[in-house]
Structure 1
Amino acid sequence: MSKHFPIKTLIDLAQNDVDSAAKQLGRVQRERADVEAQLEALIRYRDEYHASFSQSAQTGMPAGNWRNFQAFIDTLDMAIEQQRRLLATATSRVEAAKPEWQRQKRKLGSYEVLQARGDAAEARVLARREQRDADEHAAKMLRMRHENVN
């Protein structure tokens, strides 16, 4: 029914933009999830290492081992802090990608509404034309019957 080729072209372009924005959003969401998983793994490893070391330290240990442990924990803490910064950056990217995807969805929705309105207007014109043709046919039949009666 639709003869609205320009709007169809706009809808196709807008759909491509939505798809592209959705892919970008999905990519940054996956990246954020990966960064978050790495952070959780680092925290878990630090906690496990700390617990294991604390348990072995209860039986006594040389001062050198204690310094090595503290240096390693400090290194892990720095890695955790760096990963937290990466997570904050990844979260910012996700938050920046969401509005673009939403904007593209709204634009596509607007074009689809315009197309629906155009299709409805076209349907109304067609219905009026069909009604007019039916009325003309009925009038013609009535005239023919009237002529045949006379």
Structure 2
Amino acid sequence: MQHRTPLQVLQELAHERVDEATRKLGELIASEHAGEVKLQMLQKYRQEYRDRFLQAARGGIDPGGWANYSAFLVKLDEAISAQQVVLEHSRHATARGQREWASEHTRAKAFDTLTERQHRQEQHRLNKREQAQSDEHAIKAYTRGLQENS
């Protein structure tokens, strides 16, 4: 089992947080898109219903029909207004999710940089140790050679 340094543990946790922020952001974007689709559908339906109302009015409509069309258009306008509020909240949530993702991503990159720096430093120490051992071995071989030749 490989020993993990505290920095590596923090790096892994940071990447898990990025993954979680990515998942949440995906959900927020999907929710915002669904809200946009619903708003467009309501607006399209309102336009179609208004067109039917105007067509019926041109052909002559009784006061009860007029009241029903008018009341339903008011209900559609209320639904559209409510959906616009929901969509605006969703857009704010998505923007907040994007900022959170960016923050987590930046934090993870910082841990990646620190981990890479630590790895390079450890490699440098290892290289120096190997060079010192190689130098020591070469010196011993050289001195043995000198002693054998004397």
Using structure 2 for the length normalisation, give the TM-score: 0.87
Change (3 A) 1:22 1:113: same
| Structure 1: gaps (5+ residues) | none
Between the aligned partners of 1:4 and 1:21, the Cα distance in structure 2 is 24
Deviation, 1:45, is 0.7
Match of 2:29 in 1: 29
Task: Give the conservation status (yes or no) of the 8 Å contact 1:4–1:115.
Answer: no
Deviates more, 1:52-61 or 1:118-127: 52-61
Match of 2:110 in 1: 110
Match of 1:93 in 2: 93
SS in structure 2 of the partner of residue 58 of structure 1: helix
- 1:70 aligned partner, one-letter code: S
Deviation, 1:3, is 5.9
Between the aligned partners of 2:46 and 2:77, the Cα distance in structure 1 is 8
Between the aligned partners of 1:91 and 1:11, the Cα distance in structure 2 is 30
Deviation, 1:4, is 5.5
Between the aligned partners of 1:22 and 1:96, the Cα distance in structure 2 is 12
| Structure 2: gaps (5+ residues) | none
Between the aligned partners of 1:141 and 1:3, the Cα distance in structure 2 is 36
Match of 1:63 in 2: 63
Deviation, 1:63, is 2.7
Task: Give aligned-pair identity as a percent.
Answer: 30
State whether structure 2 residue 28 is matched by structure 1 residue 10. Answer: no
| Map 1:113-124 → 2, pairs under 5 A | 113-124=113-124
Between the aligned partners of 2:10 and 2:58, the Cα distance in structure 1 is 72
Deviation, 1:98, is 2.0
Between the aligned partners of 2:77 and 2:93, the Cα distance in structure 1 is 24
Corresponding pairs, count: 149
